[in-house]
């Protein structure tokens, strides 16, 4: 990553981030206190993004393409909070305490919504709303600093960016809460509202244990920009972020995890995630901290993809440094999925990079024609990348077609009574969480000898997990030999019930 230029001026405390124009253009008018209500068109843009996200998520779920890992796990967490106890997940293991897996108490905020509508759809809609509203603080900042057209283009380019699309397209994750917090914090930081930046950042500590270093980075930037006499708040936030992360990973999570350790530390220390290591001990550490950050080439490709929507101008803003902790832990991880552009791992990077992009455009003081070129370039990159990621599915006819087997699946699932213990195929698990105690069929840690087993035997090979077709058939035969009887078998869905 590039450090900020040596001549980048630090903003004094509470000073407006809007400098006088040097190119002859009039500066966009800003309200005196920066607190006026957003104009209608911003709310229209946010509403449009919400509808796009909600459509993608709900349609994916309706097509039986959502997963036990992670949607069902998070729904079991929210259901636990709604029932008045600490979160447990049967998918992770019998009575598995989720606060010992990841420390994400922020999920309790969804419990009231789950009382109203106990469904995985509640989580998907909440995520769509959280991510959509994150565009608002970035658009308001761009509106004040760069004008209306820039705010529209930046807001839509951000909202349709591949990193957000990949997160929305892959179930639900607690990071959805981090996205608007980061957007609010960085927009405030970019405008010199340092106290607001820190206060928006601190709740990130309740989202996930790995957000501690991100909070620390925001705190350090706030302290740097505050100048003499105003650094205490930023330094306190940085210390709090690091201290909480260390406490969570070394004390809290191991104390709550059945294994007595922080499970995900294995990804950073020579696990079997496919990293290919460089030996053990100091040699491996040095490899990971140097060459390992840019090899294999997937890591470099991901970095290019992250910066491309901002035309690499994000590197001109010190705000980009807030992305460094996330990029580092992904780079040193042994888990190959952390290196690429799939799943949800870039969700929290998008607000950081677009905040840095906005800041860079503002600092450059470019001409009106130059600003238009940058904005058109960013919009062009967004549109070029759109079809290759999750939102591109909305443009494909198969996405809108419903396989007749979906209705058959629900007919079979309806035969399972409420409150039963169940093992189910990966894609069926999320449709049972709200009314049964469900775990994953073929997963070694699933609750043994459930009352019911329901399996989709026609899943295509590339989507099969955790069992291939042969192992699945062997497991089903083994269940029948233990006394399970076939209750239903239709269109490849097999429902077994335990003989009483």
- DSSP letter assigned to residue 206: G
Give the separation between CA 493 and CA 265, rounded to whole angstroms.
Answer: 38
User: According to the model, what pLDDT value does residue 330 have?
Assistant: 94
Reading across the β-sheet that carries 484-490, which strands appear in turn?
A: 437-440, 421-424, 452-456, 493-498, 484-490
Residue 25 has pLDDT above 60, yes or no: no
**Are the C-beta atoms of 138 and 355 separated by less than 8 Å?**
yes
- pLDDT digit string, tens, across residues 150-179: 999 999 999 999 999 999 999 999 999 999
The DSSP bridge pattern shows strands 493-498 and 452-456 to be antiparallel
Q: Determine which helix (DSSP H) or strand (DSSP E) holds 300, and give its type and residue range.
A: helix 297-307
**Number of helices (H), then strands (E), in the chain:** 19, 7
Q: What is the DSSP letter of 380?
A: H
> What integer pLDDT is reported at residue 284 of this predicted model?
78
> Distance (Å, rounded) from C-alpha 92 to C-alpha 94?
7
Q: In terms of DSSP H, where are the helices of 394-435?
A: 404-413
- Which token pair is 209? 């244990």
C-alpha triplet 309, 310, 312: angle, nearest 5°: 115
Q: Does residue 406 contact residue 423 with C-beta atoms inside 8 Å? A: no
State both tokens at 171.
């179930």
Cα distance between residue 326 and residue 293, in whole Å: 12
Residue 288 to residue 286: CA distance in whole angstroms: 5
Q: What is the mean pLDDT of residues 25-29?
A: 45
Burial of 93 from C-beta contacts in 10 A (0-12 / 13-18 / 19+): middle
Q: Identify the CA nearest to 358 among candidates 309, 324, 325.
A: 309
How crowded is residue 156: how many other Cβ atoms within 10 Å of its Cβ?
A: 18
Altogether, the residues listed in the chain come to a count of 500
Nearest of 265, 155, 249, 162 to residue 205 by alpha carbon: 249
pLDDT per residue as tens digits for the range 105-132: 999 999 999 999 999 999 999 999 999 9
pLDDT band at 288 (very low <50, low <70, confident <90, very high): confident
Selection from 132, 129, 72, 151 nearest residue 427 by Cα: 72
Residue 428 and residue 406 in contact, taking contact as beta carbons nearer than 8 Å: no
88: β partners: 97
Looking from the CA of 111 toward its CB, the CA atoms found within 13 Å total 15
| 176: its two tokens | 């959805």
Tokens of 235: 């330094």
The pLDDT tens digits of the residues spanning 46-86 come to 999 999 999 999 999 999 999 999 999 999 999 999 999 99
**In this predicted structure, which of 156-170, 297-311, 353-367, 469-483 has the lowest mean pLDDT?**
353-367
Say if residues 402 and 63 touch (Cβ distance below 8 Å). Answer: yes
pLDDT at 299 over 90: yes
Residues in Cβ contact with 405 at an 8 Å cutoff, skipping those fewer than 6 apart: 64, 458, 491, 492, 493
- Mean pLDDT, range 373-398, rounded to an integer: 94
Average pLDDT, the chain: 90
| pLDDT over threshold 90, residue 191 | yes
Instruction: Note the pLDDT tens digit of each residue in 212-265.
Output: 999 999 999 999 988 766 789 999 999 999 999 999 999 999 999 999 999 888
Measured CA angle at 14 (ends 9, 20), to 5 deg: 55
**Is the peptide bond between 299 and the residue preceding it cis, with omega within 30 degrees of 0?**
no
pLDDT of residue 280: 55
């Amino acid at each position: 990553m590039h450090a900020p230029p040596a001549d980048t001026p630090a903003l004094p405390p509470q000073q407006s981030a809007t400098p006088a124009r040097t190119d002859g253009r009039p500066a966009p008018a800003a309200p005196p206190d920066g607190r006026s209500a957003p104009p209608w068109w911003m709310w229209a843009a946010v509403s449009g993004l919400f509808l796009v996200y909600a459509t993608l998520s709900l349609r994916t779920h309706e097509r039986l393409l959502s997963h036990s890992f992670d949607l069902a796990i998070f729904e079991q967490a929210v259901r636990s909070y709604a029932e008045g106890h600490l979160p447990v997940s049967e998918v992770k293991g019998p009575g598995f305490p989720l606060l010992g897996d990841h420390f994400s108490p922020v999920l309790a905020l969804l419990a009231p919504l789950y009382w109203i509508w106990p469904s995985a759809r509640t989580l998907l809609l909440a995520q769509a709303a959280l991510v959509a509203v994150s565009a608002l603080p970035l658009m308001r900042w761009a509106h004040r600093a760069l004008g209306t057209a820039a705010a529209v283009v930046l807001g839509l380019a951000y909202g349709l960016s591949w990193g957000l699309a990949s997160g929305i397209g892959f179930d639900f994750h607690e990071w959805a809460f981090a996205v608007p917090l980061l957007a609010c914090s960085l927009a405030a930081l970019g405008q010199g509202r340092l106290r607001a930046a820190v206060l928006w950042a601190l709740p990130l500590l309740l989202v996930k244990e790995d957000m501690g270093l991100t909070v620390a980075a925001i705190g350090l930037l706030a302290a740097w920009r505050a100048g003499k006499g105003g650094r205490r708040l930023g330094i306190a936030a940085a210390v709090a972020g690091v201290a909480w992360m260390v406490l969570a990973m070394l004390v809290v999570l191991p104390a709550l995890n059945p294994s007595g350790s922080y499970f995900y530390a294995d990804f950073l220390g020579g696990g079997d995630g496919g990293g290919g290591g460089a030996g053990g001990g100091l040699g491996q550490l040095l490899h990971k901290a140097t060459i390992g950050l840019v090899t294999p080439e997937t890591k470099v490709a991901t970095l290019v993809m992250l910066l491309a929507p901002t035309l690499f101008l994000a590197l001109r803003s010190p705000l980009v440094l807030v992305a460094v902790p996330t990029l580092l832990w992904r780079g040193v991880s042994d888990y190959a999925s952390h290196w690429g552009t799939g799943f949800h791992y870039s969700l929290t990077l998008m607000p950081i990079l677009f905040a840095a992009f906005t800041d860079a455009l503002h600092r450059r003081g470019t001409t009106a024609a130059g600003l238009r070129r940058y904005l058109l370039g960013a919009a062009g990159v967004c549109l070029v990348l759109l079809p290759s990621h999750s939102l591109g599915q909305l443009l494909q006819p198969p996405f809108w077609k419903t396989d007749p087997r979906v209705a058959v699946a629900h007919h079979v699932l309806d035969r399972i009574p409420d409150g039963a213990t169940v093992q189910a195929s990966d894609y069926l698990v999320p449709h049972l969480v709200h009314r049964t105690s469900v775990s994953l069929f073929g997963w070694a840690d699933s609750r043994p000898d459930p009352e019911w087993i329901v399996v989709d035997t026609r899943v295509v090979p590339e989507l099969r997990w955790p069992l291939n077709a042969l192992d699945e058939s062997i497991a089903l035969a083994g269940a029948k030999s233990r006394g399970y009887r076939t209750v239903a078998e239709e269109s490849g869905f097999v429902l077994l019930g335990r003989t009483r």
